[in-house]
Structure 1
Amino acid sequence: MAIHKPKQGFLILLSALLFVCNLPAWMIHAQVSIPAKFDGFVYKNSLTHADTIMIETFFDPVCPDSRDAWPPLKRVLDYYGTRISHIVHPFALPYHDNAFVTSRALHIVNKLNASATYDLLEEFFKDQEMFYNQQTKQMSRASVVDQIVRFVTKIVGDDSLSAVASGFNDRSTDLATRVSFKYGCSRGVAGTPSFFVNGFLLPNADSALDYNKWRSIIDPLISAQRLSRNETPHFFL
């Protein structure tokens, strides 16, 4: 008596059904652990309160668009002062070979001296071409890290060389950089720069916004806040 083997199409369909049935359990195991503190680097230690407009920015330290987006945004932050809170989330794009290691450097410096984090970010933007794919394609991973360590110590001081180098052997800075990337993914970020204002993604803002464009976004929000504060409560008897 002949034994009939299942057709290949049936086996593929069966495998797909088994995958779907097991998907919820797989997703549970793949969930990201909640970090001990909110991700990102706060600009000038600004504090969030009820009347603060929150801007969240996702930057890749070696992304040219991120570099071009920072000067007008920084000008806006300094103009509005305490009326705006700003957080940068490092988001290492996978097609930039050195995005993860430069993002990790930001976490290392933030841990050593939080006041120097934005200084380092600006220096990465200023000299980011030295960390582009083409410029480092002949270098080993260890050589790139060593170059970045020496680059970072110019910002935080030569006496911090050993501390910065140790930071790249510290598992916590590796995990923090991964959390930053996963956090961006959880917010739907797919490119840099990406901007969120009061929790909402700015549409069509995947490149630099000039100063006037930022003003056109922020000014109406501040006007709406003033109107809300000046409204007379209505009481119904």
Structure 2
Amino acid sequence: MNFKFICLGFVTLWCLLWPIVSQPPMPDGFWYGEEAAEEKVLIEAFFDPVCPDSRDSWPSLKQVFQEFASRVRLVVHTFPLPYHDNAFATSRALHITNKLKNTSATYHLLEAFFNHQEQFYGKATINKSRAVVTEHIVEFTANALGSSYHSAIKSGFNETNTDLATRYAFKYGCIRGVYGTPFFFVNGFPLPDAGSPLDYKGWRKVLDPLLG
């Protein structure tokens, strides 16, 4: 069955259950730079750390944000697709990192996952147990953040709150109608061609009319 229809069905069910389920402790997402003033253009990106299209879309989004940082806000949400190997575990590592350090470290780890995606899916992990893959993600994350964080990262994978944070991120995406990655919103409105990278020229076509 097409995942888009599965996700839409989940959205309907979740909206009905939303008033009676526990709420996330804080808004979802990782702000790139400082959380800026409300009057700025808001870009929201839903990424899967092991999604090649998410990886390919990041450089141009990062470039356009840095160019217009004074007039644009950017927040990234994790959206671990169920058909991508180890998407949930790598997304969880990002939430653990964000809790331990700050969003700059979180983006450093996200870029590390993007640069070494081949370590986390396909032949690299097909014959490995979940525990072995998780340990590899712990080691990889510790190498990215610093070896002194190894025990805290490992403990993070045993904490309920990091599991719930990753689940909330996925559910939040479903509620917003996200069904693939990358998926972008600008000022709350979804951009077309979800699941495909958007290059620098594409971002300029979107942002130039808004930024005048």
Under a length normalisation based on structure 2, what TM-score does the superposition of the two structures give?
0.89
Aligned to 1:88: 76
What SS does the aligned partner of 2:69 have? helix
Give the Å deviation of 1:75.
0.2
Deviations 1:183-214 (A, max 9, x none): 00000111000000000000124211110110
* C-alpha contact (below 8 Å) 1:195/1:201 kept by paired residues: yes
Aligned residues: 199
Letter of the 2:98 partner, please give it: N
Give the Å deviation of 1:132.
1.1
Which range moves more in the overlay, 127-136 or 63-72? 127-136
Indicate whether 1:61 and 2:49 are aligned: yes
Query: Which residues of 2 match residues 8-87 of structure 1 at below 5 A?
Result: 27-28=16-17, 32-50=21-39, 52-87=40-75
Indicate whether 1:117 and 2:106 are aligned: yes
Larger Rg belongs to? 1
Indicate whether 1:194 and 2:183 are aligned: yes
Which range moves more in the overlay, 127-136 or 93-102? 127-136
CA distance in 2, matches of 1:94, 1:48: 35
Match of 1:215 among 178, 187, 204: 204
- Which structure's relative contact order is higher, taking Cα pairs within 8 Å and 6+ residues apart? 2
Point out where structure 1 has 5 or more consecutive residues left out of the alignment. Answer: 1-22, 224-237
CA distance in 1, matches of 2:50, 2:20: 28
CA distance in 2, matches of 1:169, 1:146: 12
Give the Å deviation of 1:157.
0.5
Match of 1:172 among 161, 164, 188: 161
What SS does the aligned partner of 1:195 have? strand
* C-alpha contact (below 8 Å) 2:181/2:194 kept by paired residues: no
CA distance in 1, matches of 2:172, 2:18: 17
* C-alpha contact (below 8 Å) 2:180/2:194 kept by paired residues: no
Aligned to 1:14: none
What SS does the aligned partner of 1:173 have? helix
Aligned to 2:88: 100
Q: Find runs of 4+ consecutive structure 1 residues off by over 6 angstroms.
A: none
Letter of the 1:106 partner, please give it: L
Aligned to 1:159: 148
What SS does the aligned partner of 2:192 have? coil
Point out where structure 2 has 5 or more consecutive residues left out of the alignment. Answer: 1-11
Letter of the 2:55 partner, please give it: R
Indicate whether 1:183 and 2:172 are aligned: yes
Percent identical among aligned pairs is: 55
Letter of the 1:105 partner, please give it: A
C-alpha RMSD of the superposition = 1.8
Deviations 1:144-181 (A, max 9, x none): 01000000011110011100000000110000000000
Deviations 1:92-122 (A, max 9, x none): 0001120000000000000011120000000
